[in-house]
Amino acid sequence: MSDLNRVKVLDALDAAYRNVTAVAGGLGEADLMRPSRCAGWAVADVLYHELLDARRALRTFASPADQPPDCDDVSYWTDYTPSGSADFAEESAAHARYVRIAAAAYPPGALAWEWSETAAAAVRAGRACTHRAVTTQGHALTVADFAATLAVEAAVHYLDLTVALPGSPAPDPASLALVRRVLDGLSGAPVPASWDDVTAALKGTGREPLTEADRQALGPLVGKFPLFA
């Protein structure tokens, strides 16, 4: 079990979700079709993917675990490393197809509205949750650890969402710090101190390539990269 502070983690999730909401509310149809950092995905696709996560949050905060936690905010991500599942690539491709079709079905403005309503409700549900642990995707986690996984995903996908949207609010520092915590935990050692938190998130998840200097700084850890996707 991790040492995360539940209130602070939920505050980080709230801030990360509010950033997405601020961006989504100003998107026109052309903006929704701008490219993201996720290969083959437009802005609308990333936003819908994030909506799926907020919906899952609502279910999970209402789903008490009947067993002790079996993973924490770091070990949860081992299922999402490129080597974490034999079916990782196939599952990712199937999800990408579904997201593209579903996102395209929304009329103008509807996707941003549903995101803003669902994200806010998910945060409220997390703050109101009284369970010691919750269950999601076959795992049991404490509420703080689960909320941290949501904040990590939101932080990384915010960088995906805004790559072609100049003028977007700056990424939330608390959620990025949670990303760095996961990267350090998965690698078994701190990622280079020369990387700021945005750089760490992008390089640690394979969204930016490692330079020769990065490889030298990482040494034997370089074989673990990307640490999760």
Q: What is the DSSP string of the chain?
A: -----HHHHHHHHHHHHHHHHHHHTT--HHHHTSB-SSTT-BHHHHHHHHHHHHHHHHHHHT-B-SS-----TTGGGGGGSTTS-TTHHHHHHHHHHHHHHHHHTSPTTHHHHHHHHHHHHHHHHHHH---SEEEETTEEEEHHHHHHHHHHHHHHHHHHHTTT-TTPPPPPHHHHHHHHHHHHHHHTSPPPTTS-HHHHHHHHTTSSPPPHHHHHHHGGGGGG-S---
Q: At 82, is the pLDDT very low, low, confident or very high (cuts 50, 70, 90)?
A: low
User: pLDDT band at 228, cuts 50/70/90?
Assistant: very high
Q: What pLDDT, on a 0 to 100 scale, did the predictor assign at position 127? A: 98
57 part of a folded domain: yes
The answer to whether residue 81 sits within a structural domain is yes
In a domain, residue 182? The reply is: no
At 18, which CATH number? 1.20.120.450
Q: Which domain holds residue 65?
A: 6-174
Of 21-35, 70-84, 113-127, minimum mean pLDDT range: 70-84
